[in-house]
Amino acid sequence: MGCWTAYLLRLDDGSHREMDEKYGRWHLTGADDRADLVKRILTDGRPVDGAPKTARSCQGIALDLPTRRYRFYSCALNMPSAGVSHRESMALRLAATPGWEDWDVAHAWGGDDELRRLLFPELPTEPAKTEAVEVNLASRDYWFVDWDPDAHQITVRHDELIADAFAHATCLISVITADATLTHWQLTNTIAPLLAHHGESLPTTLAAGAPFPLAAEDAVTDGAVIDLPARRLRYWTTDTIPPGLIAQMETTWPGWKVERLAWGHLAHLAAIGQHPDGLSMTDTELRDAHWDDQLITIRNHARDTLPTEPRRLTPPTVRVIGQG
């Protein structure tokens, strides 16, 4: 077992080479790194005739020399807390590194499939697997007391963010309704299969049960903002999403604008007009999660400059009982 890394390369003459190896490296740093990898693929790799034959891998690199495009992605086991913004920060840092200034650098959120389609755009999109996906709400044990829909108020025990510790959620969904009311649900699902399977019926399904408080950044790895009046669906996840699953999502949300939120939970908060204080990880927490200071600076700049929702949305209030 263990992670395998796929390397795909398009040369200036239009020819392609590929290589795979166990473990390997899933990202580059300086321009010398790029030159060394190209040399190694030329020496140890193989030419591509037709479609790439590299095994489906859990991490990889694609280099397109003619167009100066570089994509990378990693095994989910290598993803730190606030993983979406971590990978976006990595890409921005590398793009500003000497030797990379004129390159298009980005994390490949489509994983192996995105690398292949970057260099082989003529390859057909593989359809997503059609599997039933249940709506799995997170736990309400211990912390939840009541939901008053008329007052748009959730009552919880002990602390406003108590659900982050006891709900065991992985996913946050926020729904904006026609009257600018904002409501949240926490689930244990992975967001992309859930959105693709349930489509635009999902908000109705969620509304049948009591909502949840807004989750903090370190509590969830996936999320979506569903804007009903604008028919706009924005999602984010630390998982890679193959193009076939995105195509299915667009089919089950007909007439909707479907977008990925590039900065994850930070962008989620901006999309609902929520200030990040108390909800986003602090610099100290990020350092404890193995972020370096340069990446923290890049991430914080992105957080402070993200466009925010201009409407005055009405979020649920959270009433706390049994404090102390």
- The pTM for the full model equals 0.94
Q: What is the structure's pLDDT at 213?
A: 96
Q: Of 155, 91, 13, 49, give the one whose Cα is nearest residue 295.
A: 91
- In this prediction, residue 324 carries a pLDDT of 57
Confidence at residue 127, expressed as pLDDT on a 0 to 100 scale = 79
What integer pLDDT is reported at residue 98 of this predicted model? 92
Do 103 and 163 belong to one domain?
Answer: no
The reply to whether 129 falls in a domain is: no
Please indicate, yes or no, whether residues 313 and 166 belong to a single structural domain of this protein. Answer: yes
Does residue 88 belong to any structural domain of this protein?
yes
In a domain, 108, yes or no: yes
Q: What is the pLDDT of residue 2?
A: 61
Q: Which residue in 125, 124, 115 sits closest to 8, CA to CA?
A: 115
58 and 155 fall within a common domain: no
pLDDT tens for the chain, 324 residues long, are 467 899 999 999 999 999 998 888 888 988 999 999 999 999 999 999 888 876 667 889 999 999 999 999 987 666 778 889 999 999 999 999 999 989 999 999 998 889 999 999 988 887 777 678 999 999 999 999 999 999 999 999 999 999 999 999 999 999 999 999 999 999 999 999 999 999 999 999 999 999 999 999 999 999 999 999 999 999 999 998 988 999 999 999 999 999 999 999 999 999 999 999 999 999 999 999 999 999 999 999 999 999 999 999 999 999 999 875
Q: Give the separation between CA 85 and CA 267, rounded to whole angstroms.
A: 9
Residue 50's pLDDT is 83
Please tell me the distance from the alpha carbon of residue 47 to that of residue 19, in angstroms, as a whole number.
9
The pLDDT value given to residue 125: 81
Q: Kindly write down the DSSP assignment for every residue of 98-161, as one continuous string.
A: TT-TTSEEEE-TTHHHHHHHHH-TTSPPPPPP-------BPP-TTTEEEEETTTTEEEEES-TT
In a domain, 133, yes or no: no
Give residue 137's pLDDT: 97
The answer to whether position 178 is within a domain reads yes
- Report how far apart, in Å, the C-alpha atoms of 45 and of each of 19, 97, 305 are: 5, 27, 42
Lookup result for tokens 């200030």: 275
Domain around 91: 4-119
Same domain as 166, residue 305: yes
Residues 48 and 152 in one domain: no
My answer on whether 12 and 107 are in the same domain is yes
Structure tokens at 227: 């804007």
Identify which of 12, 21, 27, 24 has the alpha carbon closest to the alpha carbon of residue 62. Answer: 27
Kindly state whether residue 124 falls inside one of the protein's structural domains: no
Q: Which of 62, 84, 119 is the last residue of a domain?
A: 119
Q: 150 and 188 share a domain?
A: yes
310 lies in some domain: yes
Backbone angles phi, psi at 95, to 5 degrees: -60, -25
**Pair (78, 164) in one structural domain:** no
Tens of pLDDT along 63-94? 999 999 999 998 766 677 888 999 999 999 99
Q: Which pLDDT belongs to residue 185?
A: 98
In a domain, 253, yes or no: yes
What is the total count of domains within the chain? 2
For the chain, how many helices (H) and strands (E)? 10, 14
